[in-house]
A = this chain, B = another copy of it.
Amino acid sequence: MPNEPMPGIPFQELDTPALLLDLDKLERNIERMARFFADKPSSLRPHAKTHKCPQVALRQLEAGAIGITCAKVSEAETMAQAGIQDILIANEVVGRQKIDRLTDLTQRCNVMIAVDNAENVAALSHACRAKGVSLRILVEVDIGMRRCGVQPGVPTLELAQQVSLASCLQFTGLMAYEGHLVMIVDAQEREARVRQTMIPLQQTCELLQREGLPVQIASGGGTGTYDITGTCPPTTEVQAGSYVFMDSTYLKVRPEFEPALTVLSTVVSRPASGRIVTDAGRKSMTQEFGWPQPLGIHGASVRSLSEEHGILDLAEPDVVRLRPGDKIRFIPSHCCTTVNLYDNLNVIQGDVLVNIWPIAARGCAQ
């Protein structure tokens, strides 16, 4: 097996495909988002599903985040292992095996989860009582994404009441994610639709308040909506994740953040003057949001990705001098799923590799 690369080398010396993280851009992204929330009534609880890396999470917390968000129990386990204390698992936790892991986790950190189902509430309460632990609960409300969640109004009230009556569960508030709106490129339309969407959630909070169930936490929002959802009642916490790395998709929506994450690849073939083939394919870059964006190559566009090849067409072959062995970088179209393909972030400053951070929660989908 090869030697690990050593900090201090130019990143161009790395074998490829390799995931590069520009430290200065990362820190500016973290700082910019922290500054936004510094004087707002809501707080930032960044989503760790994007980076899956404790070193990044710790920097977000140092900058003022009140805790982190995780997608799954296993992701939260990894973050707790790194000493992170306040974790929202922004998801339902269902099934005996997973609830067992969750109740163990409550003994190592302050964890909070979402529910949308009465049977699950009963199972959680039973498991917590059996282990003598307590668990904070948010009721997930469907505000139009049509994924998980109960409907606003009475259905939310009824589930919140059940949680509040269940032993060892603490009803703490609501979670509602406007995921169907975060990618709207037009800023005015995005803002109008988000504010409209939050009205029934705010009304639900008022209903719960009247019924003696104050909503301490209302959690939602993403990178596309942090400044809208984050300034819109009833939101108290925003779960933005992608801002920390960015990708070519979110750059269209949020140009105030910088693309800190790139994939370094090698040209392995130039079989025709108008075609370049690189060593980064679908096992190195995901594509559900579109092709990754090659950086600084005039007229280049991705034609397709095989498993282990990226095939680029060149509109003006004569001006592109790239030869096999040259290295090129891509901005991924979806940072979260691309990061999940790698074991390490190669942290760079300028042209130099300065650190290697393990993506400790890579593959933690349970």
Write the residues of chain A forming the contact surface with B, with a CB cutoff of 8 angstroms: 1-2, 13-18, 49, 71-72, 77, 81, 91-92, 94-98, 100-101, 104, 116-117, 119-120, 123, 142, 146-150, 179, 266-271, 275, 277, 279-284, 286-288, 306-309, 311, 323-325, 327, 336-337, 340-343, 362-363, 365-366
Contact = CB atoms under 8 A, between A and B. Distances in A.
B282 A324 contact: no
By Cβ-Cβ distance, the 8 closest A-B pairs, closest first, are: A15-B97, A148-B269, A92-B268, A94-B268, A71-B308, A95-B266, A94-B324, A283-B365
Given A283-B337, A325-B95, A366 B269 contact: no
At the interface, is chain A mostly helix, strand, loop or mixed? loop
A49 B307 CA distance: 9
Contacts of A18: 366
Contacts of A15: 95, 97-98, 101, 366
Nearest to A119: B324
Contacts of A342: 363
A214 to B, nearest CB: 25
Nearest to A341: B363
Contacts of A146: 275, 311
Nearest to A340: B283
Contact of A309 (B81, B147, B311, B363): B147
Given A95-B266, A98-B15, A147-B306, A365 B284 contact: yes
A125 to B, nearest CB: 15
A306 B284 CA distance: 19
